[in-house]
C-alpha cells in the first residue's frame, strides 16, 4: 500500500477550507488522518470526507501532533501565529494567506510554472500559494515567457466576492435580495454596496495610490516568474460575481509574438484551456470557470498600439486554482518528491 499522510486543514469552515476538503477527496490525495481545525464558532459541526463524518476542532498550538502537512487558509494572523507550532510538531505548512509569500526564504509556487521551487521548502518548512489574482495570470504569462522575455504587463481584474471569504458571498446574496425587493442594501464587508456595483478597491490603499492587492500582483508575479525587472501595473476591481475572477491583460514582450503563436503556446501549456471563438461568442467567463481547475484564456489579439504587444482575457475559479487546488497540487509535489 502506498504511503499515507496526515493532513490538517486550518480554516476548514471558510470558503477556501471547504474547497480544500472537496479537492482533497476529488484528487484522491493519500490522506491518512484528516484533522479539521477552525474557530470556536464551528465547534460541534462536522464535515463529511469520503463518507466519514469528522468533527471540527478548535485551532490551538497543540493541534498539529503527528500532522505531516498543514494546509492553512484562516488568514494572515493565524498563519503567522500557528505555522510555527505546526512546524515544531513536524509538519510542513502550505499556506494560502499572504503571511509568507514575499519571504525570500519561502518558495511561492504555482506548480505549472515553478514546481522546482518546492525543493526550497526545507528553508522554513513553509510553502506559500500566491493570491488568486496572481495565480491565474502567471500560467499564460509563463507560456509567453518561454519564448520571449516579458517587458511590461498592464492588468485589470474583475474579482468575485468569494475572494473576500464566505461572509462576502453572504453579503452579495443578501444585498441583491434587499435591492430587488425595494429595500436599502446594508454593507458590512465592503465600504459600499457591492450588489449591482463595481468597487475599484480591493484591500487597503498604500502610499503610492495602489492597493495592497494590486501591489501583491506586482511582487508575487515577479517572484514566481523569476524576473524582478518586469514592469507591472495593476488595477483590481471587485465585481458582483459570486465565484470566478476575470482579468484583462496587456503584455509587452521583447520578441514579437503573434496572436496565432500565443494561442498555440496557450493551447499546449498545462492548466490552460483556450476558449477563443469570437464568431460564436466564445470567450472565458466566470460562470464557466467556476467549479473547474483550468484557467480559461481567450480574446487573444495583438495590441493595435504596440509592435510587440498582446491582449487577452483570463477567467478562473479563485477558490479552486486560485487557492485550494494550487495548495493541494503543491502538497502532491511534496509527497511525490520530498516527504
Ligand atoms: N477566497 C479566495 O478566493 C482566496 C484565494 C487565495 C487565498 N485566500 C486566502 O485564504 C485565506 C482564507 O480565505 P477565505 O476566503 O476562505 O476566508 P473565510 O471564508 O473568511 O474563511 C476563513 C476561516 O478561518 C476561520 N478562522 C478565523 N479565525 C480563526 C481562528 N482564530 N482559529 C481558527 N479558525 C479561524 C474563520 O472562522 P470564523 O468565520 O468563525 O472567523 C473561517 O472559517 C485568507 O488568508 C485569504 O487571503 C483566499
- Give the number of the atom of ligand 1 that is nearest the alpha carbon of residue 40: 40
The answer to whether the CB of 315 is under 6 A from ligand 1 is no
Show Cβ contacts of residue 79 under 8 Å, excluding neighbours closer than 6 positions.
10, 72, 93, 95, 97, 99, 100
What does the alpha-carbon distance between residue 53 and residue 28 come to, in Å, rounded to a whole number? 17
Ligand 1 atom 4, closest CA: 163
- Rounded to whole angstroms, the Cα distance separating 1 from 275 reads 41
Distance from the alpha carbon of residue 76 to the mean position of ligand 1, in angstroms: 9
Mean pLDDT (the chain, rounded): 98
Mutating to test ligand 1, I would choose from 36, 73, 86, 172 the residue with most ligand atoms within 8 A of its C-beta, which is 73
- The atom of ligand 1 lying closest to the CA of 99 is 45
| Environment class of 229 (CB within 10 Å of its CB; exposed 0-12, middle 13-18, buried 19+) | exposed
Q: Which of 10, 12, 16, 236 to mutate to test the pocket of ligand 1 (most atoms within 8 A of CB)?
A: 16
Backbone angles phi, psi at 287, to 5 degrees: -65, -30
Kindly state if the Cβ of 97 falls inside 6 Å of ligand 1. yes
pLDDT value for 1: 56
Nearest to 117 by CA among 272, 319, 316, 329: 329
> What is the H or E stretch that residue 193 is in?
none
Q: Pairing mode, if any, of strands 295-302 and 46-49?
A: unpaired
For residue 113, pLDDT beyond 80: yes
| 94-122: average pLDDT | 98
CATH code, residues 133-318: 3.30.360.10
3-state class (DSSP) for residue 112: helix
User: What mean pLDDT do residues 77-105 have?
Assistant: 98
| Main-chain phi, psi angles of 329, to 5 degrees | -60, -40
Is the CB of 78 within 6 Å of ligand 1?
yes
Q: Is 135 in the pocket of ligand 1 (CB under 6 A)?
A: no
Question: Would the pLDDT of 223 be above 80?
Answer: yes
Domain ranges of the chain: 5-130+323-337, 133-318
Ligand 1 pocket, residue 276 CB under 6 Å? no
- Specify the CATH number of the domain 5-130+323-337: 3.40.50.720
Q: Summarize pLDDT for 128-179 with one digit per residue, the tens.
A: 999 999 999 999 999 999 999 999 999 999 999 999 999 999 999 999 999 9
Query: Which residue out of 323, 325, 327, 330 has the highest number of ligand 1 atoms within 8 Å of its CB and is therefore the one to mutate?
Result: 323
Number of helices (H) and strands (E) in the chain: give both, helices first. Answer: 9, 13
Of 338, 269, 282, the residue nearest 313 (C-alpha) = 282
Max Cα distance, the chain (Å): 61
Cβ count near 181 (within 10 Å): 7
Burial call 162-176: b when 16+ CB within 10 Å, e when fewer: bbbbeebbebbeebb
- Residue 87, pLDDT score: 98
Residue with cell 519561502: 106
* Ligand 1 centroid, distance to 75 Cα (angstroms): 5
Q: Which of 197, 212, 208, 213 is nearest to 247 (CA)?
A: 213
Are residues 16 and 38 in contact, defined by beta-carbon separation less than 8 angstroms? no
* Atom 17 of ligand 1, nearest CA residue: 165
The minimum-distance atom of ligand 1 relative to the CA of 160 is 3
Kindly state if the Cβ of 57 falls inside 6 Å of ligand 1: no
Ligand 1 centre to CA of 19 (Å) is 12
Please report where in the chains the cell 481567450 appears, as a residue: 298
Work out the pLDDT band at 2, boundaries 50, 70, 90.
Answer: confident
Q: How many CB atoms lie within 10 A of CB 325?
A: 26
Task: Name the residue at shortest CA distance from atom 21 of ligand 1.
Answer: 14
The residues that are catalytic are 132, 245
Cell digits of residue 97: 494567506
162 lines ligand 1 (CB under 6 A): yes
In short, whether 15's Cβ falls inside 6 Å of ligand 1 is yes
Percentage of residues in the chain with pLDDT exceeding 70? Answer: 100
Phi and psi, residue 157, nearest 5°? -110, 155
- Which ligand 1 atom is the nearest neighbour of the CA of 131? 6
Question: Which helix H or strand E contains 15, and what residues bound it?
Answer: helix 15-26
- pLDDT tens figures, 282-339: 999 999 999 999 999 999 999 999 999 999 999 999 999 999 999 999 999 999 999 9
- Asked whether 300 lines ligand 1 (CB < 6 A), one says no
Strand pairing category for 272-274 and 46-49:
unpaired
Amino acid at each position: 500500500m502506498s504511503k499515507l499522510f496526515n493532513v490538517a486543514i486550518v480554516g476548514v469552515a471558510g470558503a477556501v477550507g471547504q474547497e480544500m476538503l472537496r479537492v482533497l477527496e476529488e484528487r484522491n490525495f493519500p490522506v491518512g488522518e484528516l484533522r479539521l481545525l477552525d474557530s470556536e464558532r464551528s465547534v460541534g459541526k462536522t464535515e463529511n470526507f469520503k463518507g466519514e463524518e469528522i468533527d471540527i476542532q478548535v485551532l490551538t498550538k497543540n493541534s498539529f501532533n503527528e500532522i505531516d502537512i498543514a494546509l492553512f487558509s484562516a488568514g494572515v494572523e493565524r498563519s503567522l501565529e500557528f505555522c510555527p507550532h505546526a512546524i515544531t510538531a513536524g509538519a510542513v505548512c502550505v499556506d494560502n494567506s499572504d503571511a509568507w509569500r514575499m519571504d525570500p526564504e519561502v518558495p511561492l509556487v504555482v506548480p505549472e510554472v515553478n514546481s522546482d521551487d518546492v525543493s526550497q521548502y526545507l528553508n522554513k518548512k513553509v510553502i506559500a500559494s500566491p493570491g488568486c489574482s496572481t495565480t491565474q495570470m502567471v500560467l499564460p504569462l509563463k507560456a509567453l515567457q518561454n519564448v520571449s522575455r516579458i517587458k511590461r504587463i498592464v492588468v485589470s481584474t474583475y474579482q468575485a466576492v468569494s475572494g473576500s471569504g464566505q461572509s462576502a458571498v453572504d453579503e452579495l446574496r443578501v444585498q441583491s435580495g434587499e435591492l430587488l425587493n425595494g429595500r436599502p442594501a446594508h454593507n458590512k464587508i465592503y465600504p459600499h454596496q457591492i450588489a449591482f456595483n463595481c468597487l475599484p478597491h480591493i484591500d487597503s490603499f498604500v502610499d503610492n495610490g495602489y492597493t495592497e492587492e494590486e501591489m501583491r500582483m506586482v511582487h508575487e508575479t515577479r517572484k514566481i516568474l523569476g524576473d524582478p525587472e518586469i514592469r507591472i501595473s495593476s488595477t483590481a476591481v471587485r465585481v458582483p460575481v459570486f465565484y470566478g475572477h476575470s482579468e484583462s491583460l496587456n503584455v509587452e514582450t521583447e520578441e514579437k509574438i503573434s496572436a496565432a503563436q500565443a494561442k498555440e503556446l496557450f493551447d499546449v501549456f498545462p492548466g490552460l484551456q483556450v476558449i477563443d471563438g469570437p464568431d460564436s461568442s466564445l470567450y472565458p467567463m466566470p460562470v464557466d470557470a467556476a467549479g473547474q481547475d483550468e484557467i480559461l484564456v481567450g480574446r487573444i489579439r495583438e495590441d493595435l498600439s504596440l509592435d510587440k504587444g498582446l491582449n487577452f482575457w483570463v477567467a478562473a475559479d479563485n477558490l479552486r486554482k486560485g487557492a485550494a487546488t494550487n495548495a493541494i497540487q503543491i502538497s502532491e509535489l511534496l509527497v511525490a518528491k520530498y516527504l
